[in-house]
A and B are shown apart, each in its own frame.
Chain A
Amino acid sequence: MAAEGIDRHIDSQDKEKIAFSGMDFQEKERSATFFQKDAEVLLSRSLSGSVDILDIKEALANDSGARKYLGESFRLLGKEYPKNIEGGYFIRIKKGKTVELPIQACLFLKAQGFKQKVHNLVIVEEGAKVNLITGCSASRAAKEGFHLGISEFYVEKGAYLNFTMIHNFREDTSVKPMSVAVVKENGTFVSNYVCLKPVKEVVMYPTAIISGRNGRVSFNSLILSYPDSVQDIGSRIILNAEGGQGEIISRAVSVGGKIIARGHLKAGEKNTKGHLECRGLVLSEKGGIHAIPELETDLQDVDLSHEAAIGKINKEEIDYLCSRGMTASEAQSTIVRGFMDVNILALPEIIKNEIKKLEEKMLEDAF
């Protein structure tokens, strides 16, 4: 079991914290596991013949297929990416295979002041289907840590990737993920992001490029922002193939932190469709939310829309629940939990309850 290999490096308190980012140390309902502490890969193990999971360095050294993909998505965007990385995972799902149990990966910060820089590469081959949970977490000892995660996702023809990322760092951790997904014909990429624990700073703007006909992408996020934190979080979908569909949904709650909720839908090909929905609640005078939804196209035959709503909780809703016997505090908590409903995430059934339980525990701590 994963726990045996990791035990020597990770104590029980840290394990408990890591479990909050979706890691199942027993691997009972997982098809593969990757675990990296700071720059050291402690475990990469596949329990399924359909899944290759390796330290990225190993994959790049021995697998020409992996090398072919590396950096390709950034080149498509015309963007540079940091090369001085130490670790990260390589995951490949073999052609036509459906992997029933999710794959899990954890990137963990342990040493004080450590700057973790990883490059992850995920390839879902033609017709393959998989769910991947990545938890990013920091030890109680990892003061002022930094995490840079470069991730590339390649969803080949007719493939399906459901990627759930849970951030569970520290109030003094800075995080800068850089992600690009490339979705081919009839491929589907679903990205779910959950950040309900304190963090100092998150800057991320994952981008998905639909490059094949009828490709689909959805980005869904739940963000809770605590005092003294800044979370500049967005999602971008570039619809570059006919029939492409994209959706961005976010729920952001500030209990004192600053949230910049970005979203960008760009239609570069006709007969494409996209919708962006951003809702935010500001529960403290100190915090704030700045929603920046963007729709862009030079074409006529596209359908792009957005809706954004930000504000405090409606007093009428609080009073209503009080008229059912709740205290004002219970009413607020009920409304916020409802607002942060995990059902807005497009989670696969197999992990929905698990993520829901994690979310409930995290929100219990906050409210």
Chain B
Amino acid sequence: MLKIKNATITAGSKKIVDNVTFSVKEGEVLSLFGPNGSGKSTLIKAIIGLGSCSLDKGEVIFKGKEISHLSITERVKRGLGIMHQYPPKIRGVKLIQIAQFLCSDQQKIKVLAQKLALEDHLQRELNVNFSGGEMKRAELFQLILQDADFLLLDEPESGVDIENISIMGKVLDEYLKNSHKSAIIITHTGYILDYVNSEKGCVMFEGKLWCKGKPKEIFNSVRESGYEKCKGCQWQQKV
């Protein structure tokens, strides 16, 4: 479904992502761990074409086609979707407007808004005065309505309380299971993994992928020994 080949991303003279290669199959959910500033968000933004950091070297192959030259819109049309970590506030643009742009089925919008406790937010300006949890729920709401084939989830649970993680986790799990979608989930806390079935995980550290394995095992190992230990895996060299 998605192949990243020898991807290198720099910002100014600084290398953020260094010669990274990996792939995600159809129906597979890849958990991406790593400390702050390791390049995780930069990588998934580059996959969908967001941000000022573009791919300097390498390839992004989605559904068999190289897409790194395409606009964000074109990549989205081909089936990529993203849940932003820090979505912007857009004054004057209501959540319902985006929902209706993404989905013509009013009933589907209503039901999903109920599930994500967003009924009262539909008429509000996008992310304006939303709490952290509301913002994340609104992101997931849009992403599911978008019905993308491949979901890029940038820290879905950061800044979200346990109750909201539970609401989101259940909705996300149900969606991924029923629709056989693929995804990359960036997570620091690992809470989302209590809800979502992810069989593959890897660690990004200093711009490289260092470790591959079962997400919960990686997460427990990181919790005990920190990220330094992951350097031993050298997974990126083997692909």
A339 interfacial by beta-carbon distance below 8 Å: yes
**A325-B73 in contact (CB<8A):** yes
A338 interfacial by beta-carbon distance below 8 Å: yes
**A325-B101 in contact (CB<8A):** yes
Residues of B within 8 A of A317 (CB): 88, 90
Main secondary structure of the interface of A (DSSP, over half): helix
Residues of A within 8 A of B158 (CB): none
**B73-A326 in contact (CB<8A):** yes
A314 interfacial by beta-carbon distance below 8 Å: yes
**A341-B82 in contact (CB<8A):** no
Residues of A within 8 A of B98 (CB): 321, 324
Partner of B82, one of A314, A323, A339, A340: A323
Partner of A338, one of B50, B73, B93, B142: B93
**A324-B76 in contact (CB<8A):** yes
**B90-A335 in contact (CB<8A):** yes
Q: Can you list, as one digit per residue, whether each of B75-109 has a CB less than 8 Å from chain A (1) or not (0)?
A: 01100011010011011111001100110000000
Using C-beta atoms within 8 Å of the partner chain, give the interface range for chain A. 20 to 34
B189 interfacial by beta-carbon distance below 8 Å: no
Partner of A325, one of B88, B97, B146: B146
B220 interfacial by beta-carbon distance below 8 Å: no
Chain A, Cβ-Cβ closest to B76: A325
Q: Most B CB atoms within 10 A — which of A317, A323, A337, A341?
A: A323
A327 interfacial by beta-carbon distance below 8 Å: yes
B71 interfacial by beta-carbon distance below 8 Å: yes
Chain B, 96-151, CB within 8 A of any chain A CB: 97-98, 101-102, 125, 142, 146
**A341-B92 in contact (CB<8A):** yes
Q: Can you list, as one digit per residue, whether each of B144-166 has a CB less than 8 Å from chain A (1) or not (0)?
A: 00100000000000000000000
Task: Tell me how far the C-beta of A324 lies from the nearest C-beta in chain B, rounded to whole angstroms.
Answer: 6
**A316-B101 in contact (CB<8A):** no
B24 interfacial by beta-carbon distance below 8 Å: no
Task: Tell me how far the C-beta of A340 lies from the nearest C-beta in chain B, rounded to whole angstroms.
Answer: 7
**B92-A337 in contact (CB<8A):** yes
**B76-A323 in contact (CB<8A):** yes
A328 interfacial by beta-carbon distance below 8 Å: yes
Chain A, Cβ-Cβ closest to B99: A324
Tell me the complex Cα distance, A317–B93, Å: 11
Tell me the complex Cα distance, A338–B94, Å: 8
Residues of A within 8 A of B184 (CB): none
**A325-B77 in contact (CB<8A):** yes
**A320-B84 in contact (CB<8A):** yes
A50 interfacial by beta-carbon distance below 8 Å: no
Residues of B within 8 A of A327 (CB): 73
Please list 28 pairs of residues, one from A and one from B, whose beta carbons are closer than 8 Å in the complex, sorted by A's number.
A316-B88, A317-B88, A317-B90, A319-B51, A320-B87, A320-B90, A321-B90, A322-B71, A322-B73, A322-B76, A323-B76, A323-B81, A323-B82, A323-B84, A325-B73, A325-B102, A326-B73, A328-B71, A328-B73, A335-B90, A335-B92, A335-B93, A338-B90, A338-B91, A338-B94, A338-B97, A338-B125, A339-B92
Query: Which 4 A-B residue pairings sit nearest by Cβ, starting from the closest?
Result: A338-B92, A338-B93, A322-B72, A341-B92
Could you tell me which B residues sit within 8 Å of A by CB distance?
Answer: 48, 50-51, 71-73, 76-77, 81-82, 84, 87-88, 90-94, 97-98, 101-102, 125, 142, 146
8 additional A-B pairs beyond A322-B72, A324-B98, A337-B92, beta carbons within 8 Å, are A320-B88, A323-B72, A324-B142, A325-B73, A325-B76, A328-B71, A335-B92, A338-B97
